[in-house]
């Protein structure tokens, strides 16, 4: 089987192995493929493995041997799945490989907002005040304790559930809103959308990006939040109206935000969050621990192996 990896560098910058896929066929791996080069690079292939490369109807129709598209991700919004179904091409994603590492990054963003670790460390390293203080303990920032506070979670898949569990362990009240109302685990309470934002001290976004959720966190929603509240986004950038969030931060409507995802990635120079107050931004790395990436490649290979055995799994 001829297998082409179109944009493998994000998943594997050289520190892990493609061996699980190489065991299934002849693999050609590219770090990045421009959209206009996809057809030429994938010519004659039976399986495409990709992360964000756009697999359009035109691409699939130009590749008559293509039978399988495997996403190196949970999200698959760059694949025309309707066209794939019509053309008899199986599409698989990896729904569960990074729930723990994404939840960890969500709390890393939150703790940076509440404990100001990097800012305080920098003041110490640059002689910013502790050197001259007469007290043993000195700070330029207020510390926000999470125990007893309310954590709101929008979207309750595996990642949302993991974040909820961490919140419960920290002694937080956990509110949940999801597309489907379901029984809640101990320590969690399902509430309506507006209540989630109005009552939470921290709102963490874990919903997929689709027509219903695009821009769902907008000016109206942000103004429901407490002025002391924080917003976390480790889902998809476009679920948030970035201009509205920047205004909310700059005007003190909310206290801070931690985001790992933006609408345009890498960000354009005019992205309003780049200059917004109290906004911590990381470069879409919540999923990218080495352990998670090893799991990802293993599961993508398992998806392809299951397809070859006539028992496809994780199909979308």
Q: What's the rounded Cα separation, in Å, for the pair 267 and 16?
A: 27
Q: Say how far apart CA 248 and CA 254 lie, in whole Å.
A: 6
Residues with a known catalytic role:
236, 265, 284
Residue 41: C-alpha distances to residues 4, 62, 88 (Å): 8, 12, 21
Q: Is the dihedral of CA 109, 272, 237, 78 positive or negative?
A: negative
Compute, in degrees rounded to 10, the torsion defined by CA atoms 297, 299, 301, 302: 170
Query: How many other C-beta atoms can be found within 10 angstroms of the C-beta atom of residue 291?
Result: 12
Helix H or strand E segment including 20:
helix 19-22
Bridge partners (DSSP) of residue 29 are 5
The position carrying tokens 């911590």 is: 280
Instruction: Find how far residue 86's CA is from the centre of its chain.
Output: 29
How many angstroms separate the CA atoms of 183 and 186, rounded?
Answer: 10
Give, in order, the Cα–Cα distances in Å from 213 to each of 159, 218, 224, 227, 240. Answer: 17, 11, 17, 24, 9
Strand partners, 150: 173
Dihedral angle over CA of 96, 102, 104, 108, nearest 10: 180
Question: What are the φ/ψ torsions at residue 175 (nearest 5 degrees)?
Answer: -105, 145
């Amino acid at each position: 089987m001829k297998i082409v990896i179109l944009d493998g560098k994000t998943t594997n910058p050289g520190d892990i192995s493609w061996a699980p896929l190489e065991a299934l066929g002849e693999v050609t791996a590219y770090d990045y493929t421009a959209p206009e080069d996809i057809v030429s690079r994938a010519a004659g292939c039976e399986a495409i493995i990709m992360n964000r490369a756009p697999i359009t109807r035109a691409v699939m129709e130009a590749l008559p041997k293509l039978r399988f598209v495997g996403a190196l991700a949970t999200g698959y919004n760059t694949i025309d799945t309707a066209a794939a179904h019509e053309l008899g091409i199986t599409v698989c994603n990896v729904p569960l490989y990074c729930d723990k590492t994404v939840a960890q990054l969500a709390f890393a963003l939150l703790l940076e907002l509440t404990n100001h670790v990097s800012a305080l460390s920098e003041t110490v390293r640059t002689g910013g005040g502790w050197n001259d203080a007469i007290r043993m303990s000195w700070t330029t920032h207020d510390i926000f304790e999470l125990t007893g506070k309310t954590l709101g979670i929008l979207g309750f898949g595996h990642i949302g559930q993991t974040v909820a569990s961490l919140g419960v362990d920290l002694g937080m009240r956990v509110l949940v809103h999801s597309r489907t109302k379901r029984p809640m685990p101990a320590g969690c309470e399902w509430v309506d959308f507006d209540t989630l934002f109005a009552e939470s001290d921290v709102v963490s976004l874990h919903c997929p990006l689709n027509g219903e959720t695009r821009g769902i966190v907008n000016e109206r929603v942000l103004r429901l939040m407490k002025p002391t509240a924080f917003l976390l986004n480790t889902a998809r950038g476009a679920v948030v109206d970035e201009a509205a969030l920047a205004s909310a931060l700059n005007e003190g409507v909310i206290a801070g935000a931690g985001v790992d995802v933006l609408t345009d990635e890498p960000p354009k120079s005019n992205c309003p969050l780049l200059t917004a107050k109290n906004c911590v931004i990381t470069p879409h790395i919540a999923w990218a621990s080495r352990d998670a990436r090893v799991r990802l490649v293993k599961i993508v290979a398992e998806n392809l192996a299951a397809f070859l055995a006539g028992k496809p799994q994780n199909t979308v």
